[in-house]
Amino acid sequence: MVESVRPPRFQALRVISALMVREMSTRYGRSFGGYFWAIAEPVAMIALLSVAFSQFLRTPPLGSSFVLFYASGYIPFSFYITINNMTSAAVSKNKPLMNFPMVSPMDAVLARAALQILTMIVVSTVILLGMTMFVEEQIKISFPGFFSAILAASILGLGGGALNVVIFAFFPLYKIIWSIITRPLFIVSGIFYTVESMPTALQEILVLNPLVHVTGQSHKAFYTIYDGDFVFLAYPIALGTFFLLLGGALMLRHRSFIIDNG
């Protein structure tokens, strides 16, 4: 009697780990420059925002430090946008590996998301430690509140990226459309202002953007005096989870098509 061959235990975890190692070597290489740029880019963006707006405003919307205010909004936004961008291109960047039966499109998505989350944790830690040394304003962070904002941003980014993998395969033109419609996100996600400072009619529109709730929660974590009553983190978390489940189901159903056209 021929004994059935069972797949190795934790095969999916092993595949994802291997993909993460491959992704790390191809993205960052073995030189210090790749890792340095991953940290330097968000730091430069925060510094640029601080310098630019300090020329027009006497004080930031919250607190007294422009650097601290913009960092508190930009860090969770960076989690979303980088995870979304990386996972959206997971299949196209790993197409040669998709020919192996044990590698699925979702494995590539999860591997890229996990690596990006780890990268952003390091980046965020460096930024926060740097601010404690160079920012004059006393920094008191509610870490549970800050981590919840990071979690919501990561789930939303992962879910959106997983769904994008499917949409990009079926509608290639959507890649261009997506790149266009996401450009204003930086402006409409509450990074350099508070929702309450906007006109009432505009507030009602802004809160429809799930990222506003993420940045609002992060601002609440950094500033105890900030109420942020509009924040509803269940919104981005539920939306991201729905996108992830839908994208995963479609990847499973149309695996061959997505691999060929992704």
User: 2 lies in a domain?
Assistant: no
pLDDT tens for 127-165 read: 888 888 877 778 889 999 999 999 999 999 999 999 999
Residue labelled with tokens 């190692």: 21
User: What does residue 157 show for φ and ψ, rounded to 5 degrees?
Assistant: -65, -45
Cα 116 from Cα 84, distance rounded (Å): 10
A 10 A CB-CB count for 93 gives 16
| CA 20 from centroid of its chain's CA atoms | 17
Predicted local distance difference test score (pLDDT) of residue 120: 92
**Inter-residue contact 89 to 160 (CB < 8 Å):** no
User: 138 lies in a domain?
Assistant: yes
User: 113 lies in a domain?
Assistant: yes
User: 5 lies in a domain?
Assistant: no
User: How many folded domains does the chain comprise?
Assistant: 1
pLDDT tens for 180-231 read: 999 999 899 999 899 999 999 999 999 999 999 999 999 999 999 999 999 9
User: 60 lies in a domain?
Assistant: yes
Tokens of 233: 């983190």
**Inter-residue contact 88 to 245 (CB < 8 Å):** no
User: 214 lies in a domain?
Assistant: yes
Residue labelled with tokens 């940045």: 215
Mean pLDDT across the stretch 67-71?
Answer: 89
Range of the domain at 96: 11-261
Predicted local distance difference test score (pLDDT) of residue 20: 87
Predicted local distance difference test score (pLDDT) of residue 3: 46
Q: Reply yes or no on whether the pLDDT at 31 is more than 70.
A: no
User: 3 lies in a domain?
Assistant: no
User: 134 lies in a domain?
Assistant: yes
